[in-house]
Structure 1
Amino acid sequence: MLNFVLFGPPGAGKGTQSEKLIEKYQLIHISTGDLFRAHIKNQSPLGQRVSALIAEGQLVPDEITIAMLEEEVDKNPGAKGFIFDGFPRTVPQAQALDEFLESKGSSIAGVIALDVDQEELTKRIAQRQLETGRVDDQADKLQKRIEEYFSKTIHVLPYYEAQQKLSKVNGIGKIDDIFADLSAVIDKY
């Protein structure tokens, strides 16, 4: 299985690039944000808990996130691989993902971090909020999410760097150029 983590702050282009990677490599995209939004839309008990946390700009607890992610992986037993988008956000989540994939006879092949500065992120998300109206893109909540990324989530990168699985790609530029750079990394595997 070819499993990758696509890493970057909110607005880095993970969703946009994931769509292109899915098409090229026939991978299954698992976005924790999409999972959360689906549960919220369906007003499941889990969705109600997630909704309250996201409304406050907080991260969803590991046990909820991991359970949802494992459920999605298990739904696709014949997959060629997965792109994990928005997960892991903490070292314990990264360790849990490694353990889960190992139990399936697999592992993370690589982690690709999209580098985008905060000014560009703010501009992109403001535009996305206008286009989609996503609740989690509102200015006050967005600032919390960006701060959370740069103060906590970014610390996952050294975990993967120590395993020699980390690659960084400039996330600013033309979508197709960024995609070419991402593909060059994946083609090494």
Structure 2
Amino acid sequence: MIVIFLGPPGAGKGTQAKMIAARRGIPQLSTGDMLRAAIAAGTELGKKCQSIMAAGDLVSDEIVTGIISERIDMDDCKSGFLLDGFPRTVRQAELLEEILEEKGRQVDVVLELRVDDEELVNRLKSRVEETKAAGGEVREDDNEETFRKRLSIYNEQTAPLIPFYEKRGLVKVIDGMKPIDEVTAEIEAALDSVEPGRNHA
């Protein structure tokens, strides 16, 4: 089963993605991890990325898609995988569709973790307060201004993927405002209702 996970920063995607991957026996693929692995392995694409990143530039959509293409050819992805943090834009989604088509594969389901932006900001604030109260160190990027910037980037660049995948009949909306275990149950029910490999068109 090929699963794409969408949702704004702070929605709890990472936590849920790990659980789904473990329960379904499929790898969770994060583009950041894949880039680091390709660089560490010294693949052609990895070397290319290293020089781009060393110059402080962003790796192009084509290169990121190439790295994903390399990764999903590995044995552990044969029965499926979960994409977390990719695609981030409609262009990346189109490239992903092309490479999957070449491999005779397709996305089975897109899980949209839906949460209220203001509630996410409140969650961040209470997390910061709890960390301070416990005498912990607050992460530098754990502040409202940075978080709102990340939210607006998500809304501008990544949210348009939802109508893109809705047209293909792939989106299952998950209520991310519920307690973690209820969100997990809702995700499991959504995944159970999908038949892997069926034609969505």
Place the TM-score, normalised by the shorter chain, in its bin.
0.7 to 0.9
Q: Tell me, which stretches of 5 or more residues in structure 1 are unaligned?
A: 54-58
Larger RCO (alpha carbons 8 Å, 6+ apart): 1
Counterpart residue number, 2:114: 115
Determine if contact 1:4/1:110 at 8 Å carries over to the other structure. yes
Determine if contact 1:30/1:84 at 8 Å carries over to the other structure. yes
Residues in 2 aligned to 1:36 and 1:117: alpha-carbon distance in whole angstroms: 31
Counterpart residue number, 2:17: 18
Residues in 2 aligned to 1:123 and 1:158: alpha-carbon distance in whole angstroms: 27
- Deviation, structure 1 residue 14: 1.2
- Deviation, structure 1 residue 121: 2.5
Equivalent runs, 1:21-170 vs 2, <5 Å: 21-35=20-34, 46=49, 49-50=52-53, 52=56, 60-76=59-75, 79-125=78-124, 127=127, 139-170=144-175
CA RMSD of aligned residues (A): 3.3
Determine if contact 2:31/2:68 at 8 Å carries over to the other structure. yes
The aligned amino acid for 1:25 is R
TM-score when scaled to structure 2? 0.75
Determine if contact 1:94/1:156 at 8 Å carries over to the other structure. yes
- Deviation, structure 1 residue 63: 2.1
Seen in structure 2, the aligned counterparts of structure 1 residues 33 and 80 have a Cα distance that, compared at 3 Å, is: same
Residues in 1 aligned to 2:139 and 2:74: alpha-carbon distance in whole angstroms: 27
Q: Tell me, which stretches of 5 or more residues in structure 2 are unaligned?
A: 42-46, 195-201
Residues in 2 aligned to 1:68 and 1:100: alpha-carbon distance in whole angstroms: 11
Seen in structure 2, the aligned counterparts of structure 1 residues 109 and 27 have a Cα distance that, compared at 3 Å, is: same
Residues in 2 aligned to 1:103 and 1:3: alpha-carbon distance in whole angstroms: 15
Seen in structure 2, the aligned counterparts of structure 1 residues 38 and 135 have a Cα distance that, compared at 3 Å, is: farther
User: Identity over the aligned pairs, expressed in percent?
Assistant: 36
TM-score when scaled to structure 1? 0.79
